[in-house]
């Protein structure tokens, strides 16, 4: 396909997120994953005639959280609406969603790609229920069956629709990454893509650079990883560009990404909103969110990743990159902060958390939440280094033992007699012994070969099993030899 720079991609994402509530959106059935088929169901989520939905308060609360975290305006009154369509795993014949009066709108997400900051508009965040799942089994016509599992029917979702503000697959990737991080921070969802807790559809069009009008878009579905999203977008951008350059026209349609071929394939022409015959659900009262409720939710929100990153660079003097790594998850950022607080040295806390600790966790296949070394213990270890009680080199050994045993650093240092020797007279004694034992090197040093100093330091370290304070040793050596 032709590579060209005269065309510009335009992308908008529609992201579905499953909320981390205990129960479903309109009934008391468990909102779980992995239960045997059709066991978490009741008349409401089975869509039996006459069963009445009751909106789950926790669902609304998490959706408000998401809206606020994405800088949206929360509507004082929003409405649940029926979106009518037929599907075997949608027994009611309609989805309960929100249409022209969504819970939240007019928000944004800030992203940064290749050093360039961009603000991506969030059109709306609305509530809806999930459908069940169809399971296809068998390969031959004679034994091919489709089963329907309705455990997921009525699972609570929010849909987050972006403005068509994204201009490359990299920006789309960065937007989804930031979105996921924010939603995890505020504990709205686990965003576990493998469990389908985060699902993304991408709308793509291309237009000549400088053109104001948007081109005709295609909607790409089945993007169940961040990598697939990027690859599907790159394919689709190239396909549309190529098509237009050859004099063709993009048709508005829904396309499926096929990870095996790396291509998108036309699935059906796109439905329009009027096909769904939306109307307010008469079984559900308008959703009223008082100012008092909204502000209570806001007050209960944790610090968001962007604010945390800014604080880590500003208050702690961390490098941009380090702040980014350390805020990747809330658990990691909290671990780092606790370590920094205990030792009073944020930079070395950052180095240790990103270096030795991250390395050890990775080697052990553990997450930060499962770290055998607690943040307080790591902080205590660094305090011993800061106070000069153990050397940086010994600290690494002590750390390895802490990681194995989960013990406090002081206990290990005490038991193994690893304390750094800073006592002047004790060190002077060792230095004198080393000098006396190496007269030839002393002569070389006095003759102008200053590099021999390193040899003496090494000998003193050897004699003290690495416990001598290197700065003090250097100083004593210089004064003795001077
Ligand atoms: P539809 O009615 O087809 O669902 P919407 O206007 O609701 O379309 O937009 C759905 C998503 O598609 C949004 O994320 C929006 O930003 C994006 N979008 C709309 N028009 C375009 C376009 N021409 N090119 C790329 N994305 C678009
Ligand atoms: Zn139910
Ligand atoms: Mg739409």
Tell me whether strands 218-223 and 253-258 are parallel, antiparallel or unpaired. parallel
Same domain, yes or no: 357 and 407: yes
Query: Pick the residue with more confidence: 223 or 18?
Result: 18
Q: Average pLDDT in the 187-200 region?
A: 95
pLDDT reading at 482 higher than 90: no
CB 96 within 8 A of CB 26: yes
The last residue of a domain, from among 276, 296, 316 = 296
pLDDT for the residue numbered 33: 83
**364-369: long-range contacts at Cβ-Cβ below 8 A with a sequence spacing of 24 or more?**
364/403, 367/331, 368/329, 368/331, 368/332, 368/335, 369/331
Given pLDDT bands bounded at 50, 70 and 90, which one contains residue 413?
confident
- Residue 250: how many other CB atoms lie within 10 Å: 18
Mean pLDDT value of segment 443-450: 88
The dihedral sign for the CA sequence 114, 168, 226, 67: positive
Rounded distance from Cα 292 to ligand 3 centre (Å): 31
* Proportion of the chain in helix, strand, coil states, percent, rounded to 5: 40, 20, 35
Which residue, of 385, 416, 447, is where some domain finishes?
416
Sign of the alpha-carbon dihedral angle for 319, 325, 327, 330: negative
Same domain, 127 and 172: yes
Residue 79 pLDDT > 50, yes or no? yes
**Beta-carbon contacts of residue 284 (< 8 Å; ≥ 6 apart):** 53, 55, 80, 96
Q: What confidence tier does 342 reach under pLDDT thresholds 50, 70, 90?
A: very high
> Nearest C-alpha to atom 13 of ligand 1 is from which residue?
12
C-beta of residue 124 within 8 angstroms of C-beta of residue 102 = yes
Q: How many structural domains comprise the chain?
A: 3
Rounded Cα–Cα distance for residues 408 and 285 (Å): 57
Cβ-contact 27, 42 below 8 angstroms? yes
Whether 379 and 350 have beta carbons less than 8 Å apart is answered as: no
Average pLDDT in the 55-82 region? 98
What pLDDT, on the 0 to 100 scale, is given for residue 222?
Answer: 81
Tokens encoding 343: 């030792």
Q: What is the extent of the structural domain holding 433?
A: 424-481
- Name all residues whose Cβ lies below 6 A of ligand 1: 10-14, 161-164, 203-205, 214-215, 217, 270, 273
| Distance from C-alpha of 16 to C-alpha of 22, rounded to nearest angstrom | 18
Mean pLDDT, rounded, for 331-346: 97
Ligand nearest to the backbone CA of 207: 1
Q: What's residue 414's pLDDT?
A: 84
* Residue 440 three-state SS: helix
DSSP 31: -
Q: Identify the nearest ligand to the CA of 151 by its number.
A: 2
Both 430 and 412 in a single domain? no
Task: Tell me the CA–centroid distance for residue 188 and ligand 2, in Å.
Answer: 21
Task: Quickly state the pLDDT bin for 1 (edges 50, 70, 90).
Answer: very low
Structural domain includes residue 316: yes
Overall average pLDDT of the 155-175 stretch: 98
Tokens 């060190």 -> residue: 427
Q: Which residue has the tokens 């329009």?
A: 272
Give the containing element (helix H, strand E) for 293.
helix 291-299
Same domain for 127 and 50: yes
- Contact 141/194 with Cβ under 8 angstroms? no
Judge if 250 and 327 occupy the same domain: no
The ligand minimizing its distance to the Cα of 250 is 1
Give the pLDDT confidence score for residue 462 in this predicted structure: 87
Claim to verify: residue 82 and residue 177 sit in the same structural domain = yes
Average pLDDT taken over every residue of the chain: 93
Report the pLDDT averaged over residues 384-413: 90
Q: Which has the higher per-residue pLDDT, 153 or 465?
A: 153
**Is residue 2 included in any domain, yes or no?**
no
279 and 410, same domain (yes or no): no
- Same domain, residue pair 133 and 232: yes
Residues 429 and 386 in one domain: no
Q: Is the dihedral of CA 87, 157, 191, 233 positive or negative?
A: positive
Among the candidates 269, 296, 323, a domain finishes at: 296
Regarding whether 318 and 405 lie in a shared domain, the answer is: yes
Q: What integer pLDDT is reported at residue 2 of this predicted model?
A: 46
pLDDT at 142: 82
* Same domain membership, residue 12 and residue 143: yes
Residue to substitute in 164, 171, 221 for testing ligand 1 pocket (most ligand atoms within 8 angstroms of CB): 164
CA 332 to chain centre: 11
What is the atom index within ligand 1 of the atom nearest the CA of 164? 16
At residue 385, does pLDDT exceed 70? yes
Task: Kindly tell me if the per-residue pLDDT of 452 is higher than 50.
Answer: yes
In the reported structure, the alpha carbon of residue 77 is separated from the centroid of ligand 3 by a whole-number distance in angstroms of 21
Residue 203 burial (10 A CB sphere; 0-12, 13-18, 19+): buried
pLDDT for the residue numbered 140: 82
Pocket test for ligand 1, best of 172, 217, 236, 268 (most atoms within 8 A of CB): 217
The number of the ligand 1 atom at minimal distance from the alpha carbon of 163 is: 16
Q: What average pLDDT score do residues 74-78 get?
A: 98
Query: 35 CA to middle of ligand 2, Å?
Result: 14
- Classify residue 275 as exposed, middle or buried by CB count within 10 Å of its CB (0-12, 13-18, 19+): exposed
The structure's pTM equals: 0.87
What pLDDT is recorded for position 465? 80
Average pLDDT over residues 412-426: 83
User: Is 141 in the same domain as 256?
Assistant: yes
Cα(63) to centroid(ligand 1), Å = 22
CB 481 within 8 A of CB 442: yes
Residue nearest to atom 11 of ligand 1 (CA): 12
């Amino acid at each position: 396909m032709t590579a060209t720079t005269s065309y510009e991609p335009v992308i908008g994402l529609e992201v579905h997120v499953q909320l981390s509530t205990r129960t479903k959106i309109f009934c008391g059935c468990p909102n779980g994953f992995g239960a045997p088929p059709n066991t978490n169901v009741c008349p409401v989520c089975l869509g039996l005639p006459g069963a009445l939905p009751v909106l789950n308060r926790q669902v609304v609360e998490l959706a408000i959280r998401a809206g606020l975290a994405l800088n949206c305006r929360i509507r004082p009154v929003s409405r649940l609406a029926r979106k009518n369509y037929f599907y075997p795993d949608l027994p009611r014949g309609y989805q309960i969603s929100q249409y022209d009066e969504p819970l939240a709108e007019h928000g944004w997400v800030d992203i940064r790609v290749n050093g360039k900051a961009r603000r991506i508009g969030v059109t709306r965040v609305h509530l809806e229920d999930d459908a069940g799942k169809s399971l296809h089994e068998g390969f031959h016509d004679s034994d091919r069956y489709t089963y329907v599992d309705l455990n997921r029917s009525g699972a609570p979702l929010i849909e987050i629709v972006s403005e068509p503000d994204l201009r490359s697959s990299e920006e789309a990737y960065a937007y989804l990454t930031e979105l996921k991080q924010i939603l995890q921070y505020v504990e709205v969802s686990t965003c576990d893509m493998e469990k389908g807790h985060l699902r993304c559809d991408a709308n793509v069009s291309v237009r000549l650079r400088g053109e104001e009008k948007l081109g005709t878009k295609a909607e790409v579905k089945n993007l169940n990883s961040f990598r697939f999203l990027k690859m599907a977008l790159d394919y689709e951008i190239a396909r549309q560009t190529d098509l237009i350059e050859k004099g063709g026209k993009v048709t508005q349609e829904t396309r499926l990404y096929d990870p095996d071929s790396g291509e998108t394939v036309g699935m059906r022409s796109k439905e329009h909103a009027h096909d769904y015959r939306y109307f307010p659900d008469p079984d559900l009262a308008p959703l009223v969110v008082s100012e008092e409720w909204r502000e209570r939710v806001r007050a209960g929100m944790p610090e968001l990743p962007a604010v945390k990153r800014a604080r880590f660079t500003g208050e702690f003097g961390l490098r941009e990159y380090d702040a980014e790594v350390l805020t990747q998850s809330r658990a990691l950022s909290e671990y780092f902060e606790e370590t920094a607080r205990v030792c009073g040295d944020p930079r070395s806390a950052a180095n240790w958390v990103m270096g030795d600790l991250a390395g050890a966790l990775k080697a052990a296949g553990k997450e930060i939440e499962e770290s055998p070394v607690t943040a307080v213990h790591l902080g205590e270890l660094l305090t011993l280094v800061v106070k000069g009680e153990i050397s940086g080199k010994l600290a690494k050994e002590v750390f390895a033992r802490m990681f194995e045993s989960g013990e406090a650093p002081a206990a290990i240092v005490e038991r193994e007699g690893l304390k750094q020797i800073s006592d002047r007279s004790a060190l002077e004694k060792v230095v004198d012994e080393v000098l006396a034992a190496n007269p030839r090197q002393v002569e070389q040093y006095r003759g102008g070969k200053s590099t021999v100093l390193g040899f003496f330091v090494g000998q003193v370290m050897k004699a003290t099993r690495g416990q001598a304070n290197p700065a003090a040793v250097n100083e004593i050596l210089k004064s003795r030899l001077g």
